Amino acid sequence: MQERILLLFCLHVAILINLLIATTTAFTTEAQCNTSWYSQTYINGTCYTFVTFSGNYDQAMKKCTEFDDGHLVYPYYNLGNILQPKLYSLPEGTLLFVGLRQFPRNSSDEPNKEWYYVMSDNTTTQTVAAALPWNTYYGEPILANDCGAFGYTGGLRTVNCSSSPGYLICEYGNGKVIFL
């Protein structure tokens, strides 16, 4: 009986510690977000920073280090619409690298390339291309391009991974990433 009581006590302590850590992390992330050197917005426990950047996609993947657990933003569901007020403040035609890439990278593999979310440690999670918020006005997705970028209107575009669109969006936060 005492073992059972001790086990229940330890379980309750573990739950309380996890709750305290989660609450502290969310508070710290919001406080950190407000101190960013970059233009930023804090939404539902996640900090998004809009970074001026000169470099290719592989270099951009290493840029989200201002705070812990940063990565290029994953363009899921309607995130472009949510971030649109910040994106509209950028010059017309602006593109921002996001954590989305087509693999394999060899053009002879067309049309079998698939779109993947790319994590900061270069692991990947496949996504359903049809479910992504493509900007169809520009005929996206364009198969010749192999990296994702948000346009200033919030629509998802494709860019060449070796290009330098001038900006990127970093995501820091609650870890509740929703993949489609």
Write out pLDDT tens, residues 88-114: 677 788 888 999 998 865 556 555 678
Please name the residues in contact with 47: beta carbons below 8 A apart, sequence gap of 6 or more.
29, 30, 32, 33, 36, 40, 41, 67, 171, 172, 173
- For the domain with range 2-173, which CATH number is right: 3.40.50.720, 3.30.429.10, 3.40.50.20, 3.10.100.10? 3.10.100.10
- Of the two residues 42 and 16, the one the predictor is more confident about is 42
β pairing state of 114-118 and 147-151 = unpaired
Q: Among candidates 89, 113, 90, which has minimal Cα distance to 102?
A: 113
What average pLDDT does range 52-71 have in this prediction?
89
Whole-prediction pTM:
0.73
Give me 10's structure tokens. Answer: 């330890």
pLDDT of residue 11 exceeding 70: no
Q: What is the pLDDT of residue 8?
A: 34
The model's confidence at residue 28, banded by pLDDT at 50, 70 and 90, is low
